[in-house]
Amino acid sequence: MTTDLPRRGPGDDALVTTASPLFADSAADRRIPRSWVVSWALWDWGGAAFNAVITTFVFTVYLTSSLFVAPSVVAAKNAESGSSGPAHAAYDAAVAVLSSGLAWGVGIAGIVVALIAPVLGQRTDGSGRRKLWLGVNTGVVVVVTALMFFVVGTPSYFLLGVALVAIGTVFYEIATVNYNAMLVQVSTPKTVGRVSGFGWGAGYLGGIVLLLIVYFGMVVGDGGLLHVPTEGGLNIRLIALIAAAWTLVFSLPVLFTVPEIPPNARTPRVGFFASYGVLVRDIGRLWKESRNTVLFLIASALFRDGLVGVFTFGGILAQGTFGFTSGQVIIFAIAANVVAGVSTLLSGRLDDRFGPKAVIVTSLTGLIVAGLAVFVTHSLGAGAFWVGGLVLCLFVGPAQSASRTFLARVTPAGREGEVFGLYATTGRAVSFLAPTLFAVFVAVGGAQYWGILAIVLVLAIGLGLLLPVRAPRRR
């Protein structure tokens, strides 16, 4: 991150670059202190606690575990000798209900985000309170994550757990809108690729470190190396407290280091609901002034849904198709985050040199080829998934990071919050696509591995829509 950046003067601790009017607070020979960049990236490192631990690998897995199934159903299943008997079927049905309930909660949260993200982003642009609202929304995520400690592993606490995950998801996504919009404050056209990649990489690496801590400390075996009691899911509930503290500690630097943006006088001061009318007019103006931005929002919504699908269904496929145990799934997740994090850090240089579109097109092409290879080799066992799955992860991070820098390069100055709000909204608007197609392909094909083709199809559609979009001019 710190090599091959624009030249530094003697004794100077800042990045010296020539700015572009695209970046709202830029001036000639703009100086970006390294402390700003590091502090900004640390928020991503801290946010990995919610992404990796709460919503992906630990807490949501806990919510859909046997602890939340009626004890009588679990006892009948354990007493039944065959795995195809009625007790096993009743247990599988109960777990399916849990998964469906969790999916509904997260889905409702997605709808809320889609409805409010662009308006809130627009209002922070106008008020000059982007950092303030990043702090407020992150604070709510911390509180909600800590409250997950009270979700005891019994069926009566399931709805509380789903509600907390849903609420946390809403505030985390809104905080991400503010965070992404800050990219133009901590970078310039010459460094935006590396800075964005540094942030994404920090998020992946933060997830790795925290997963290693909680897995070996409190999960593996019987309560981990610390031998934490597992009754009522106590070890998992304590992990929620650790995740909350992790998010809090690493979100503070950006709030104290990076300055707040000035108010945007061009944004009209109206009430919350009247902001939707302003938003509609602004989208129309954005279409006229920067049609390329709108086209990219549409294309990226599709391929980003496919990127999310790679991680969402990766663990499911590893266990259901390739025979991984639950512990092996977590070990694979750690390895996957290592690969994705390192490749994302390295891809930032390619982004700044060749442009974000080239990185995205190359990454999506690699994902499609690797996905097809995993599908073809599904009968070869765990080794095939280790190779193919890690190759997939090699391309996921660079595509995510370059997508963010592409948008930063084409967004009109002073409208970053609004456009990144639309970025969140368009992504949420089609977030049903990969899961739905996955279910359809599995149902039609009669086996889980057919779902791989669904993810590949979504990525291919996104790539097809991206190709006509003009690449932003490199500075």
Tens digits of per-residue pLDDT, 416-441? 666 776 776 677 667 667 777 877 78
- Give the model's pLDDT for residue 35: 94
Answer whether residue 411 shows pLDDT above 80. Answer: no
The helix (H) or strand (E) run that includes residue 390 is: helix 382-410
pLDDT digits (tens, 9 = 90+) for 117-168: 767 766 665 566 888 999 999 999 999 999 999 999 999 999 999 999 999 9
What DSSP line would sit under 395-428, residue for residue? HHHHHHHHHHHHHHHHSPTT-HHHHHHHHHHHHH
Please check the confidence at residue 6 and state whether its pLDDT lies above 60: no
Residue 475 in 3-state DSSP?
coil
CA distance 189 to 17: 9
Q: Taking a C-beta distance cutoff of 8 angstroms, is the pair 358, 439 a contact?
A: no
Task: Average the pLDDT over 271-292 and give the result.
Answer: 74
Residue 381's identity, in one-letter code, is: G
Q: 323: alpha, beta or left, given left = phi > 0 and alpha = psi -120 to 50?
A: left
Tokens of 40: 């900004």
Q: CB of 263 within 8 A of CB of 124?
A: no
Q: How far is CA 427 from CA 167, 359, 386, 463, 471, in A?
A: 18, 19, 28, 15, 20
Q: Comparing 34-48, 153-167, 171-185, 401-415, which segment has the lowest mean pLDDT?
A: 401-415
Decide: 262 and 27 in contact? Cβ < 8 Å.
no
C-alpha span between 106 and 258 (Å, rounded): 32
Looking at per-residue pLDDT, the higher value among 279 and 199 belongs to: 199
Asked if 408 and 26 count as a contact pair (C-beta separation under 8 A), the reply is no
Please state, in angstroms and rounded to a whole number, the distance separating the CA atoms of residues 251 and 273.
30
Distance (Å, rounded) from C-alpha 203 to C-alpha 337? Answer: 9
**Residue 17 banded pLDDT, cuts 50, 70, 90:** very low
What average pLDDT does the structure give for the chain?
A: 82
Residue type, 405: T
- For 64, residues 6+ apart whose C-beta sits below 8 A from its C-beta are 95, 98, 99, 102
Is the pLDDT at 254 greater than 90? The verdict is yes
For the stretch 305-358, pLDDT in tens is 888 778 767 766 776 678 776 667 778 888 888 898 889 888 888 888 888 999
- List the Cα angle 362/461/294 in 5-degree steps: 85
Query: What phi and psi, each to the nearest 5 degrees, are found at residue 328?
Result: -65, -35
* pLDDT score at 88: 82
Residue 16 scores a pLDDT above 80: no
- Reported as a pLDDT band with limits 50, 70 and 90, residue 19 is very low
CA distance 384 to 65: 28
In three-state form (DSSP H/G/I as H, E/B as E, the rest C), the secondary structure along 293-333 is HHHHHHHHHHHHHHHHHHHHHHHHHHHHCCCCCHHHHHHHH
Closest CA to 110 of 381, 468, 433, 384: 433
Given this model, what pLDDT does residue 94 score?
Answer: 81
Per-residue pLDDT at 27 exceeds 80: no
Provide the β-strand partners of residue 264: none
> Which residue shows structure tokens 């795995």?
83
State yes or no: pLDDT of 4 exceeds 60.
no
Query: Residue 26: its pLDDT value, please?
Result: 43
What six digits make up the tokens of 106? 């997260």
Return the H-helix or E-strand segment holding 31: strand 31-33
pTM of the entire predicted model: 0.77
